[in-house]
């Protein structure tokens, strides 16, 4: 089982004009949508999304994934659960976030590698299939995260630095993006000269906005955003409520303010200094808006780890004397912190060794094959107690274990004082699916072949353990 999350977005400048080829600036926000995926044996695809009214973007992303990326996979049983920090009402881009997160989750559990660009392209196709219109800026934010200078269809996707001091006000009104985009398209057809001039002017503002953002010249960026709003008003996509919130924010001292997205409702944004933030937030509230506290420049689509990063590990010196306690996160980001770990190799009566394939949500070596059982020694535990606990948690077994050896191993991100145990056991094994995606027995002849063909990739701990017992 794995969980992937993708961020929401806010359009900083350039909406509508971006649909006609002008650039825009978008930032990803730390309100995330989560897709948890698990393979099933029943061949069925199930989607559970209690917060959503419909699942057409998930369904279309699944169909797109299997038709374009995994046409040869027959065993398509998968269950997907979706939850979100934000509702589809606020205009943070739940459709794009769910498409992007679904595609990445499917790629991981069916082991089809996809670059971020491939995920972007597939999710953009999903949007066009369903909505018929759209620039794809929201998909770029969900995929790549950060703040982006963007052109339609991903012709340009340029990361920009900086968190942006934004205040966000929600109007309480849900906007219908495709309808608004079509309305603007119709206007452009009717009055091409006038509307094209507006788009061109917005495009120029965006270019200046990019420079202001790079220079962290917030006052200038604020002014440019307010100019952009005037053009959006001319396009007819603003609303009374949006105008009221924008005006209040400006009167309360914001550097600038505008609608964000298609218009008609959803959110407005204001740029404000730390000193003015509270006054701007209060003004938005008094004007009938709901302040949404978000952090901009959020990380793009990512795999969420299921490992508790705050769990305390035992830190030792080279002679295994306890010198302190540090969190999993600290131990896995500092190779000088030697911490206690355990490993177990299980053999069946024919002498084959059992290995486990680590789940993709592990914080170290996701997808690699490891010792039959492994883990860390937590505060208050002995090595023996740790391996007994890990055996129960990971495989629900309790065979007799024998001490084999103790060694220090330093690998990419961590250094462990590892005690290796062995046991003989034919199962049955009940792997915990949050930790393990698969277990299998390998014979002494078979394993080297599978390593050579690349079918099996071993963790460094498993390589060391297998060498120690003479299996490699």
- The binder of ligand MEV chosen from 13, 18, 370, 466 (CB under 6 A): 18
* 206 sits near ligand MEV (criterion: CB under 6 A): no
Pick from 7, 8, 13, 16 the residue near ligand MEV by CB under 6 A: 16
Binding range to ligand MEV, per CB under 6 A, among 14-22, 69-77, 192-200, 283-291: 14-22
Q: Which is nearer to ligand MEV, 26 or 104 (CB)?
A: 26
Beta carbon nearer to ligand MEV, 187 or 468: 187
Contact residue for ligand MEV among 20, 120, 124, 137 (CB under 6 A): 137
Stretch that binds ligand MEV, among 134-142, 415-423, 424-432, 457-465 (CB under 6 A): 134-142
Catalytic residue among 138, 228, 266, 371: 138
Q: Of the two residues 3 and 88, which places its CB atom closer to ligand MEV in the complex?
A: 88
* Site pattern 247..266 for ligand MEV (x: CB under 6 A): --------------xx----
In the annotation, is 41 catalytic? no
Which 3-state string (H, E, C) describes the chain? CEEEEEEEEEEEECCCHHHHCCCEEEEEEEEEEEEEEEECCCCCEEEECCCCCCCHHHHHHHHHHHHHHCCCCCCCCEEEEEEECCCCCCCCCHHHHHHHHHHHHHHHHCCCCCCHHHHHHHHHHHHHHHHCCCCCHHHHHHHHECEEEEEHHHCEEEEECCCCCEEEEECCCCCCHHHHHHHHHHHHHHCHHHHHHHHHHHHHHHHHHHHHHHCCCHHHHHHHHHHHHHHHHHHCCCCHHHHHHHHHHHHCCCCEEEEECCCCCCEEEEECCHHHHHHHHHHHHHCCCEEECCCCCCECCEEECCCCCCCEEEEECCCCCEEEEEEHHHHCCCCCCEEEEEEEEEECCCCCEEEEEECCCCCCCCCCEECCEEEECECCCCHHHHHHHHHHHHHCCCCCCEEEEEEEEECCCCEEEEEEEEEECCCCCCCCCCCEEEEEEECCCHHHHHHHHCCCCECHHHHHHHHHCCCC
Binding residues for ligand MEV, total number by CB under 6 A: 12
The binder of ligand MEV chosen from 15, 228, 390, 435 (CB under 6 A): 15
- Residues 180-199 contacting ligand MEV, CB under 6 A: 181
Instruction: Choose one: 28-36, 113-121, 129-137, 396-404; the region binding ligand MEV (CB under 6 A).
Output: 129-137
Question: Which residues would be at the binding site for ligand MEV (CB under 6 A)?
Answer: 11, 15-16, 18-19, 134-135, 137, 177, 181, 261-262
Active centre residues (catalytic): 138
């Amino acid at each position: 089982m794995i969980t992937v999350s993708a961020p929401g977005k806010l359009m900083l400048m350039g909406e509508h004009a971006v649909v006609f080829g002008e650039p825009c600036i978008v930032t990803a926000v730390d309100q995330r949508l989560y897709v948890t995926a698990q393979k099933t044996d029943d061949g069925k695809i199930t989607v559970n999304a209690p917060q959503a009214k419909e699942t057409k973007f998930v369904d279309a992303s699944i169909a797109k994934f299997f038709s374009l990326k995994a046409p040869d996979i027959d065993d398509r049983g998968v269950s997907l659960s979706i939850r979100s920090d934000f509702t589809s009402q606020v205009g943070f881009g739940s459709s794009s976030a769910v498409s992007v997160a679904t595609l990445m989750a499917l790629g991981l559990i069916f082991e089809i590698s996809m670059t971020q660009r491939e995920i972007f392209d597939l999710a953009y196709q999903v949007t066009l299939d369903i909505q018929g219109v759209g620039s794809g800026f929201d998909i770029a934010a969900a995929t790549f995260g950060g703040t982006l200078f963007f052109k339609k269809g991903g012709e340009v996707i340029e990361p920009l630095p900086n968190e942006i001091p934004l205040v966000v006000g929600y109007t309480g009104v849900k906007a219908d993006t495709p309808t608004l985009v079509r309305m603007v398209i119709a206007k452009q057809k009717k009055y091409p000269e006038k509307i094209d001039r507006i788009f061109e002017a917005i495009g120029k503002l965006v270019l200046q906005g990019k420079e202001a953002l790079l220079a962290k010249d917030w006052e200038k960026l604020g002014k440019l955003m307010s100019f952009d709003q005037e053009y959006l008003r001319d396009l007819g996509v603003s609303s009374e409520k949006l105008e009221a919130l924008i005006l209040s924010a400006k009167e309360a001292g914001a550097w600038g303010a505008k609608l964000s997205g298609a218009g008609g409702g959803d959110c407005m944004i204001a740029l404000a200094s730390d000193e003015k933030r509270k006054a701007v937030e209060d003004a938005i509230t008094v004007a009938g808006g709901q302040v949404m506290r978000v952090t901009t420049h959020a990380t793009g689509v990512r795999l969420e780890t299921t490992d508790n990063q705050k769990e305390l590990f035992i830190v030792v010196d080279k002679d295994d004397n306890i010198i302190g306690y540090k969190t999993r996160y600290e131990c896995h980001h500092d190779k000088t912190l030697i911490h206690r770990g355990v490993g177990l190799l299980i053999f069946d009566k024919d002498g084959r060794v059992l290995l486990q394939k680590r789940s993709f949500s592990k914080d170290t070596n996701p997808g690699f094959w490891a010792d039959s059982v492994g883990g860390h020694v937590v505060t208050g535990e002995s090595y023996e107690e740790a391996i007994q606990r890990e055996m129960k948690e990971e495989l629900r077994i309790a065979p007799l274990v024998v001490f084999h050896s103790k060694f220090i191993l330093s690998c990419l991100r961590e250094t462990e004082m590892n005690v290796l145990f062995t046991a003989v056991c034919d199962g049955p094994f009940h792997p915990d699916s949050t930790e393990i995606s698969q277990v299998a027995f390998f014979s002494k002849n078979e394993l080297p072949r599978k390593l050579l063909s690349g079918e099996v990739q071993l963790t460094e701990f498993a390589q060391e353990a297998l060498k120690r017992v003479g299996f490699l």
